[in-house]
Every structure is written in C-alpha cells, then in structure tokens.
C-alpha cells in the first residue's frame, strides 16, 4: 500500500521502516502496542495500516494518548549515548548480558510463510500474536516461493501445486460457510452478527487444512534484547533461505532501536555445524524399513513416584528441613496422608486460578502426532521443552468430517495426493524446501515435556469448546494419559470432555 506524505510523517514517528515487511514498532504507549498487535489475529491489514487507523480514529481516542506520550518535550540523546557506552563496557565487555533483558522491542513481521512463523515462535522467551486461520480467509496465490525451487526444474511443479491448493481453498470456503449454517442453524437467542462470525470461523477452521505451509501470514513479536539476539542468531544459522533473510532484516531493524544489545547476533557455526552433523549421523544410525504407526498421544516418560516428589516439595516449601530428610518422612506416610497434603494445597483453586509452582517438579513427556494446522496452536505453549521433527508427508493426513459431509472429500484427497507427489519429487533435490508444499492437513511429530503446572493450563485451555476440534482431542487424550498413571493428581485438572464444533 502506498501512503500519503502526511501518513508517512505520522508513521516515521512510530515504525523503523515504511516499506520493508519486517520493522520495529516504537515510541508508543504499551497499551497502544497491545491493541495494535491484537488486531493481527482477525484483521487482514498491515500493522502500519492499522496503526494509521488507530491514530486517526476516534473510537478508542488513541491518537490523543499517543500525542500525550510522545510530546513530553524531553531530549534523550545524551541519555541514549551514555546508555550505549554502558552497554559497550558492561554487557559486551564484561558479559553482563542479563541487563539486556530490560530492553524490549516490538517487531512487526509481515508476509512470511507459516513455516517461518513456527521457526520464529520456537523461541520460548517472547510474546507472539499471529494472523488467524480461523478468523481470516487467506488470499489466493499469496505464498512464499523458495528461490532454490523456483530457479530449478521443480519451479513450475511447486507453483502449480500451491495454486491448486488455493483454488480449492477459495472455492470451498463460501460453500462451507453455507454448509455450516445448514448443519448448525442459528438459535433464537443468538445474535445474528455473532452467528455470521462463528459460522465463518467454523468454515475457516475446516478449510484451513488445504492451505500449504508456504502460505504468507503476519506475526507480532515482543521480546527483550537478549531473547531477540538469540532468535536472530538461530535464524541466521538456519538452513532455509527464508529464515536467514528474516534474521538479517530483523537485525537491521532492531539495531535502529537497540543499537548495542543485538549488534553481535550473527551466524553461529556451533548451531549450524551440529545440526548438519546430527542429521548425517541419524541417517546412518536409523536403519528401519518403515515408520511404525504412532498414536496421536503417547505418554513416553513420567515420574513413577510423582506423589512422593510433590508431597516432599510441598512440605519443603513450608518447613526449614532439607529435602532428603523430608522425603524419608514422606516415604513412611500412608497414601491417604499424602493425598491430604496434596488436597490441602490444591482444593482452594478457583475457576481462574493456576496452581502454585511446586507442581513444576513433576514432569511428563508426550510423543504427539498432530495435523500441522493444530500444531500451530499447541506449539505456542512454550513453557515446556519441545523437540520438533521436520514437516513431511510420511505420516499421512487428517480429513475433517465436515469436508466429507459437505461433498468435498474427493477434492480434498486429490489435493493431498498432489501434495505427496510434489513433496516426493522436490525433496529428492531440496528436502528442506519441500516442506513449503505440505498442506496443514498433514501430521507431524513433536516431543513435548510438560511439567504438571503447565499441563493444568494447557489442558484447561485447549480442551475447551472455544478451541479447534483437532487440538481439543489432543488435550483430552493428554489428560487421559495422566489420569491412567496418576489418577489422584489428575483429579484437580480442569478438562472439558465435550465434542463437536468450536463455539
């Protein structure tokens, strides 16, 4: 979009670049940044366009708030220079990098692939808001085209395949909205605008399975300088060109706002070299003839003495004795006595309460097989350890029941068959880049290690009827696995066992 001179003048006060697809948002009250980044989920406009709407609009009176924030009349140039000197000496010179956590940047990331957003969001210590596949319809032919593929003999195949996905996606969306309305008619007490909105969301939830990982999307990211430096380093050390390009642009823009604290973010030979060596080693070690079919949720590791560990940790917190002394006491307690301690700690939790930190001593590791679209949502639970496998077509795909009921099963399966053919052909020469052609319907594997406290949050949030049916089933099955091994601990986890379309 082209901007008027007046708009450029306004934007120059708050964005680090007028034309690039990655830029920093600054010189705004925190509340305004939160509103601006909140728009990305449901609004198709760019961050710059939405910022202009906020400044000019009267609905939230944000223009006046921004003026009050920015027109204090102070000259910070001397302070900035002294800060730069401090950082050069103490952070860079002496390695006191924890100070960098107090400098924060809000980054607008536009027109990057869905695949790229998952790489960016793999950084734990940051906040993200992403363009939603539930609330927005994605534009035809708006997808990332890897240069290596496009410059090769596979270019036409890649383009033909992705265009075919988008043709079917855009053809099915309006018909799916009508189907959803027929299947779930509006009740008398439901507001008409809300009904239209929820019908569209349900249709988008179903049809998103056809979108390829190359689909262009937008992402808002807020993080401290230390986390940003690490994120940029990982991006610059990534095997895919898109990730390195994003890392380069991100560094250029963040340097305009935090010139000292991320200046040494660069390609890291340890990350790159280790990944390449481990890939080669794994190929040589893994001599399996086939992939054994895995369940959607498999509990592969857990604490067999979780009750004892938790009771010991709870008593430790409220006493003055060493852990080993308390544990020897706990070992002699009856199961009923242990349960009384746990119950006393958890029974007062209200509807919106999270349990306190002692539950973090109990860990569970799950091998989860889930469609890539739903993985996008559960990956955001980053207070855990995730080990991701690359996107592939080898684990098959999921097909929503409504696709079948609405009469689109053949079209859907034809898209998936085309994806398998394109992936297999492209991956012979470009195994990394072939991931871009994989639709969200295909399953991928991820190893999650959650502590019990985070599982309270994950299961409660992701099993609720507000969520996508695919990851609701995952959350429900995660709960079931915990209940099998630790029924008493599972008793305090809030889980919604309902089925059906999202509310």
Query: Residue 231, class by beta-carbon neighbours within 10 Å (0-12 exposed, 13-18 middle, 19+ buried)?
Result: buried
Query: Residue 451, class by beta-carbon neighbours within 10 Å (0-12 exposed, 13-18 middle, 19+ buried)?
Result: middle
The pLDDT value given to residue 336 = 97
The pLDDT value given to residue 91 = 52
> Does the pLDDT at position 219 exceed 50?
yes
Residue 325: both structure tokens together: 């002394």
Dihedral sign computed on CA atoms, order 314, 319, 320, 322: negative
* Average confidence score pLDDT of the chain: 91
The pLDDT value given to residue 58 = 62
The CB density around residue 304, as the number of other CB atoms within 10 Å, is: 9
Overall average pLDDT of the 196-218 stretch: 96
The pLDDT value given to residue 79 = 43
385-388, strands of its sheet edge to edge: 297-302, 363-371, 443-451, 385-388
Overall average pLDDT of the 311-340 stretch: 97
Query: Residue 241, class by beta-carbon neighbours within 10 Å (0-12 exposed, 13-18 middle, 19+ buried)?
Result: middle
The one-character DSSP state at 99 is G
The pLDDT value given to residue 293 = 82
The CB density around residue 373, as the number of other CB atoms within 10 Å, is: 24
* Least confident window among 89-98, 268-277, 370-379, 420-429: 89-98
The residue extents of the domains of the chain are 299-388+443-490
Distance from C-alpha of 48 to C-alpha of 62, rounded to nearest angstrom: 15
* Least confident window among 36-45, 144-153, 386-395, 455-464: 36-45
Nearest to 368 by CA among 298, 300, 301: 298
> Does the pLDDT at position 492 exceed 80?
yes
Query: What's the pTM?
Result: 0.91
CATH of region 299-388+443-490? 3.30.1360.170
Distance from C-alpha of 251 to C-alpha of 229, rounded to nearest angstrom: 8
**What's the Cα-to-Cα distance from 101 to each of 14, 36, 91, rounded to whole Å?**
22, 23, 11
The pLDDT value given to residue 363 = 98
The pLDDT value given to residue 54 = 83
pLDDT tens digits along 62-86: 656 566 555 544 444 554 455 455 4
The pLDDT value given to residue 73 = 42
Distance from C-alpha of 444 to C-alpha of 392, rounded to nearest angstrom: 7
Is 52 in contact with 61 (CB distance < 8 Å)?
A: no
The number of residues making up the chain comes to 503
The pLDDT value given to residue 97 = 62
Distance from C-alpha of 371 to C-alpha of 390, rounded to nearest angstrom: 13
Residue 264 confidence class, pLDDT cut points 50, 70, 90: confident
Share of the chain above pLDDT 70, in %: 91
Overall average pLDDT of the 98-112 stretch: 88
Task: Find the helix packing angle between 323-331 and 306-317, rounded to 10°.
Answer: 130
The pLDDT value given to residue 83 = 46
The pLDDT value given to residue 380 = 87
């Amino acid at each position: 979009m082209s901007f008027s001179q007046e708009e450029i003048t306004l934007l120059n006060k708050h964005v680090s670049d007028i034309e690039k697809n990655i830029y920093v948002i600054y010189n705004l009250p925190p509340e305004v940044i939160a509103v601006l980044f909140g728009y990305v989920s449901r609004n198709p406009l760019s961050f710059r366009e939405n910022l202009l709407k906020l400044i000019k609009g009267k609905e939230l009176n944000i223009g006046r708030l921004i003026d009050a924030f920015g027109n204090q009349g102070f000259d910070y140039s001397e302070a900035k220079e002294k800060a730069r000197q401090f950082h050069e000496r103490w952070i860079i010179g002496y390695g006191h990098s924890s100070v960098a956590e107090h400098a924060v940047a809000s980054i607008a990331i536009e027109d990057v692939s869905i695949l790229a957003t998952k790489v960016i969001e793999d950084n734990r210590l940051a906040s993200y808001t992403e363009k939603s596949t539930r609330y927005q319809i994605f534009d035809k032919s708006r997808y990332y085209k890897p240069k290596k593929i496009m410059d090769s003999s596979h270019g036409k195949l890649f383009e033909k395949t992705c265009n075919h996905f988008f043709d079917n996606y855009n053809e099915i969306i309006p018909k799916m909205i009508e189907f959803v309305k027929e299947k779930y008619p509006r009740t008398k007490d439901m507001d008409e605008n809300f009904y239209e909105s929820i019908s569209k969301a349900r249709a988008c939830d179903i049809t998103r399975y056809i979108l390829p990982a190359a689909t262009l999307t937008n992402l808002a990211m807020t993080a401290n300088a230390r986390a940003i430096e690490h994120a940029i380093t990982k991006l610059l050390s990534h095997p895919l060109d898109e990730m390195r390009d994003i890392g380069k642009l991100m560094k250029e823009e963040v340097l305009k706002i935090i010139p000292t604290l991320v200046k040494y973010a660069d390609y890291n030979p340890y990350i790159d070299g280790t990944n390449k060596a481990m890939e080669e080693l794994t190929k040589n070690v893994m001599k399996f003839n086939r992939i054994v079919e895995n369940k959607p949720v498999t509990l592969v590791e857990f604490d067999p003495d979780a009750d004892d560990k938790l009771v010991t940790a709870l008593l430790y917190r409220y006493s003055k004795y060493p852990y080993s002394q308390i544990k020897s006491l706990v070992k002699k307690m009856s199961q009923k006595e242990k349960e009384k301690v746990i119950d006393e700690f958890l029974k007062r939790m209200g509807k919106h309460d999270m349990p306190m930190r002692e539950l973090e001593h109990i860990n569970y590791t799950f091998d989860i097989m889930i469609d890539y679209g739903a993985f996008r949502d559960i990956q955001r639970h980053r207070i855990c350890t995730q080990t991701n496998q690359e996107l592939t077509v080898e684990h098959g795909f999921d097909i929503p029941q409504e696709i079948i009921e609405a009469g689109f099963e053949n079209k859907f399966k034809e898209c998936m068959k085309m994806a398998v053919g394109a992936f297999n052909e492209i991956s012979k020469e470009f195994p990394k880049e072939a991931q871009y052609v994989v639709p969200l319907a295909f399953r991928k594997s991820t190893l999650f290690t959650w502590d019990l406290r985070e599982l309270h949050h994950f299961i409660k949030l992701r099993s609720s009827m507000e969520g996508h049916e695919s990851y609701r089933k995952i959350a429900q099955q995660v709960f079931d696995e915990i209940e099998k091994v630790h029924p008493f601990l599972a008793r305090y986890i809030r889980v919604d066992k309902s089925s059906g379309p999202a509310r």
